[in-house]
Amino acid sequence: MFDRIPVLIIIFIVLFFSACKESVTPEQYNRLAANPKLIHESSEQLTNVIVHDVFKPPVASRVYSYSFLAAYEALQWQSIEYPSFAGKLNGFTEVPAPQEGKEYCLPLASTKALAIVGEALTFSTDKWKDFDQKFFKQYKEMGIPEDVYDRSIVYGEQVAKHILEYAHDDNYLTTRGFRYTLKHLPGKWEPTPPTYSEACEPQWNTIRTFTLDSASQFAPLPPAEFSLDKDSDFIKLTMEVYEFGKTLTEEQESIAYFWDDNPFVTNMVGHATFTEKKMTPVGHWVEIAKTVSEDNKLDMLSALEAYTLTSISTFEGFIASWDSKFQYERIRPITVINNTIDQDWVSFLENPPFPEYASAHSAISAAAGRVLTRLIGENISFTDSTEYRYGHGVRTFTSFEEAYWETSMSRIYGGIHFRDGVEQGTYQGEKVGEWVLSKLKEPAMGRGELLKKD
């Protein structure tokens, strides 16, 4: 009889904890599921896959934007303070609503929607499968009832399907395979060393925008006219880049390298060539959004709004910048310098494969910086360790504006942009960021009262 007592105790303990697990209330498991660290983990996974798959910066902005949009649209039903973007984004219709009277765990649906869209728009399916197995196990351990868990997963799938259908019609697929034809004219862009790669995404300005009326809505002022006259504005701009390249201080090199954000860097040592995978410009600003969200203890929905608006603003910034790049088709400084001033001069950073004017990195950084300033606040200090793992160090800023203007200067220090290119790119990005905010942070409308587009 006494031999059976330990067995009975074990059975009692199992039944007790099983009963406790079943008695978890919706408020309790939803509170656990809404832990912002879960959306931060999802964001990190998205970045890791984008880096691994080596997406071009404009394409990376597309992956981030649709993935975060899916997560946001699944979670926004949780609060009327965060309305859907249906009717506010060009061509975007209302997502399916959760079934009335049914219990959901919307944070679970949100991260599931992000994972589905992220996997669909990237290549490394195996990395998503490994992530899903570990990540979603966390929700299983929160005591979410099985029917609620399954229903929430299905809802995340419904939202993801809606977002992927929306993405399918943005003209991305029709622009695959287009190639840029070199003009071979004075002042026009030519492929640059060391790889002499052909132009990246020459049709990107035809991609459907999220909020902009057109790709040229915030066109920059025309660049300085190409002229090799020693007194011309163009030569003065060229000589500035040339002199910087010969006299860079340690701090200027650090700034240039910190904001390099080249997803596929070519390194040449003697006769050997090797490449490195690193973060894209968009990924850098997404990580800044993560940093300040954690620093300021934003809840899951607030953090997700920051991720979504940051990525959308960069997406719009790339389209606007690409429109000017392939309108002016401006030559890079290294080509002018090597052909007319110093054939041995090498820029500190590797030149990206597309025309110079205006600076896309400046544009997308200013757009993201404007968004984060509105969402988080002005004069918000933060320490950016985004690419520490890639050896880029750590820098501290007193505001987002300080950060995005340093980004612009980094391109001059790096020898890959003229001053008017980075300044006009920054002004362009500031306008784009404010426009995105004006469209997506307007007073909320009632459910179903969608804004009509002409």
pLDDT, one tens digit per residue, over 368-383 is 999 999 999 999 999 9
The CATH number given to 24-168 is 1.20.144.10
Instruction: Decide if 247 contacts 44 (C-beta within 8 A).
Output: no
CA pair distance 256, 29, nearest whole angstrom: 46
State which amino acid sits at residue 41. E
Share of the chain above pLDDT 90, in %: 85
pLDDT of res. 263: 74
> CA angle at residue 245 from 257 to 346, to 5 degrees?
85
Q: What is the mean pLDDT of residues 211-235?
A: 98
pLDDT given for residue 393 in this prediction: 87
In tens, the pLDDT along 151-173 reads 999 999 999 999 999 999 999 99
Q: What was the pLDDT predicted at 265?
A: 57
pLDDT tens, residue by residue, 391-400: 888 999 999 9
389 falls in which pLDDT band (50, 70, 90)?
A: confident
Nearest residue to 158 (alpha-carbon basis) of 227, 99, 213, 231: 99
The separation between CA 19 and the C-alpha centre of its own chain, rounded to angstroms, equals 44
First to last CA, the chain: 82
Of 358 and 272, more confident = 358
The answer to whether 76 and 84 are in contact (CB under 8 A) is yes
Share of the chain above pLDDT 70, in %: 89
pLDDT in the model for residue 118: 98
Q: How far is CA 37 from CA 293, 301, 416, in A?
A: 10, 11, 37
pLDDT of residue 6: 53
| Distance in angstroms (rounded) separating the CA atoms of residues 331 and 354 | 9
- Per-residue pLDDT band at 20 (split at 50, 70, 90): very low
Domain boundaries, the chain: 24-168, 182-440
CATH number of 182-440: 1.10.606.20
Banded pLDDT at 309 (limits 50, 70, 90) = very high
Report residue 222: phi and psi, to 5°: -60, 150
Over residues 26-31, mean pLDDT: 95
Largest CA distance in the chain: 105
**Tens of pLDDT, residues 51-103:** 999 999 999 999 999 999 999 999 999 999 999 999 999 999 999 999 999 99
pLDDT, mean of residues 337-342 = 98
Residue 21 has pLDDT above 90, yes or no: no
* Average pLDDT of the residues in 324-330: 98
Average of per-residue pLDDT across 239-243? 98
Average pLDDT of the chain is 91
Say if residue 235's pLDDT is above 70: yes
Quick: pLDDT tens for 171-221.
999 999 899 999 999 999 999 999 999 999 999 999 999 999 999 999 999
pLDDT of residue 449: 36
Residue 322 contacts by C-beta under 8 Å, 6 or more apart in sequence? 58, 201, 204, 205, 215, 354, 360
pLDDT at position 279, please?
Answer: 87
Please determine, for residue 16, whether its predicted confidence score (pLDDT) is greater than 50: no
CB contact at 8 A, 114 and 42 = yes
pLDDT tier, 448 (very low <50, low <70, confident <90, very high otherwise): very low
pLDDT at 24: 83
From 204-208, 317-321, 332-336, 389-393, the region with the lowest mean pLDDT: 389-393
3-class secondary structure for the chain?
A: CHHHHHHHHHHHHHHHHHHHHHCCCHHHHHHHHCCHHHHHHHHHHHHHHHHHHCCCHHHHHHHHHHHHHHHHHHHHHHCCCCCCCCCCCCCCCCCCCCCCCCCCCHHHHHHHHHHHHHHHHCCCHHHHHHHHHHHCHHHHCCCCCHHHHHHHHHHHHHHHHHHHHHHHCCCCHHHCCCCCCCCCCCCECCCCCCCCCCCCCCCHHHCCCCCCCCCCCCCCCCCCCCCCCCCCHHHHHHHHHHHHHHHCCHHHHHHHHHCCCCCEEEEEECCEEEEEECCCHHHHHHHHHHHHHHHCCCCHHHHHHHHHHHHHHHHHHHHHHHHHHHHHCECCHHHHHHHHCCCCCCCCCCCCCCCCCCCHHHHHHHHHHHHHHHHHCCCCCEEECCCHHHCCCCEEECCHHHHHHHHHHHHHHCCCCCHHHHHHHHHHHHHHHHHHHHHHCCCCCCCCCCCCCC
Asked whether residue 445 carries a pLDDT value surpassing 80, the answer given is no
